[in-house]
């Protein structure tokens, strides 16, 4: 992967991030910058923005050739569907791989909150498109799109957070979403990315 600066500070441009210097857990600054740019673009152009997190995995017990292309084609089709519904989707995803056979992807999505107020139909559409992209036995497809509403310990997470400018807690919620998004910029597990493959991708801003 391309060398990028890593920060171990607990804040980035005034926003809390999930870094910890003592535990040597850092975040890539170029990813943080891209996340911030997408947040600023959407909140500058919409009085209501729906924020959501999602994860995408491959089935462990199947051979999936051209994994990166499979994911990128799926994601492009998902974003195209959101655009057709006039949701002005803006996103950032990161690729990670630790010791498992396949890579996996983490993503954030920002939508026009005047056109949508729930994550469920968007996650359902992602599941539909991911199954189509994988083109494998349906029994292998379960749980490959994670709506990030539960942590590893089973605790419930709020997802589908509405950032509404007339909300007294608007800035607090925006900061919360950015901090959660900074998980995508974490340093570990990205060093395994094969040479020539992208570690992350994000929307092109107008």
DSSP string, 23-42: TTB-EEHHHHHHHHHHHHHH
Angstrom distances, CA of residue 164 to CA of 119, 127, 168: 16, 28, 9
Locate 64 and state its tokens. 């999936």
Query: Considering the domain boundaries, does residue 1 fall inside one?
Result: no
In a domain, 49, yes or no: yes
pLDDT in tens, 32-52: 999 999 999 999 999 999 999
d(CA 147, CA 160): 9
Integer Cα distance of 7 and 110 in angstroms:
25
Q: Indicate the pLDDT class of residue 1, thresholds 50, 70 and 90.
A: very low
The answer to whether residue 189 sits within a structural domain is yes
Q: Structural domain of residue 77, as residue ranges?
A: 6-202
Task: Report how far residue 22's alpha carbon sits from residue 80's, in angstroms, rounded to the nearest whole number.
Answer: 42
Tally the domains of the chain: 1
pLDDT in tens, 107-121: 999 999 999 999 999
């Amino acid at each position: 992967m391309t060398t990028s600066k890593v920060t171990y500070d607990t804040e980035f441009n005034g926003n809390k991030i999930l870094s910890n210097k003592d535990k040597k857990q850092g975040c890539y600054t170029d990813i943080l910058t891209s996340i911030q740019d997408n947040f600023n673009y959407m909140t500058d152009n919409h009085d209501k923005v729906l924020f959501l997190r999602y994860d995408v995995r491959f089935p462990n017990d199947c051979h999936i050739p051209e994994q990166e292309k499979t994911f990128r084609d799926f994601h492009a089709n998902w974003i195209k569907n959101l655009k057709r519904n006039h949701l002005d989707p803006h996103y950032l995803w990161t690729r990670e791989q630790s010791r498992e056979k396949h890579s996996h992807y983490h993503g954030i999505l920002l939508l026009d909150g005047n056109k949508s107020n729930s994550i469920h139909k968007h996650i359902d559409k992602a599941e539909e498109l991911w199954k189509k992209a994988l083109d494998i036995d349906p029994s292998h497809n379960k749980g490959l799109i994670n709506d990030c509403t539960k942590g590893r310990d089973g605790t419930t997470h709020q997802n589908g957070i509405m950032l509404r400018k007339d909300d007294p807690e608007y800035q607090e919620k925006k900061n919360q979403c950015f901090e959660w998004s900074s998980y995508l910029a974490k340093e570990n597990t990205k060093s395994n990315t094969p040479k020539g493959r992208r570690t992350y991708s994000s929307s092109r801003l107008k």
